A = this chain, B = another copy of it.
Amino acid sequence: MNIGDAAKASGVSAKMIRYYEQIGLIPPAGRTHAGYRDYTEKDVHVLRFVRRARDLGFSVAEIDGLLQLWRNRRRRSADVKRIALDHIEDLQRRIADMQEMAATLQQLATCCSGDDRPDCPILADLEQPSAAAAKEPKRRRGAVDDRGVGKRKAQRG
């Protein structure tokens, strides 16, 4: 089975299959005499696992963990659950952040006449965050200066 077929069968693009192999997320595929990657149904099965996990928003690093647990018949389901719950938390944090942004903007937009006149509460707020709209900014994007503050969880985005 060629990489193109494996791509269609798994829903993972050929490009990404090669990439996942390169970074070691999946083991190197077999090769034909001509050097073409050769996939079995089993390989496709793995790829579908990866695809599904990506669809659920897991990072490649998390999927790596999940794959190892998947392959390990003596795994503890608690370990799997841990990864899932952490990911849910992560999602919820990001959802909350975005909801706050959306709410703030919605409020500002509601106050904006949106016509030919220049007066605009949106720009006014960007200029001088109003106490009402500002709240704690939540600074998604790290420190204020060059001198780093230590590692943060890798932010996918």
Contact = CB atoms under 8 A, between A and B. Distances in A.
B127 A109 contact: no
A93 to B, nearest CB: 10
Nearest to A141: B54
- Interface SS of A by simple majority: helix
A49 interface: yes
A85 B109 contact: yes
A74 B120 CA distance: 11
Interface of A: 4, 7-8, 11-15, 45, 48-49, 52-57, 66, 69-70, 72-78, 80-82, 84-85, 87-88, 91-92, 94-95, 98-99, 101-102, 104-106, 108-109, 112-120, 122-123, 125-127, 129, 137-146, 156-157
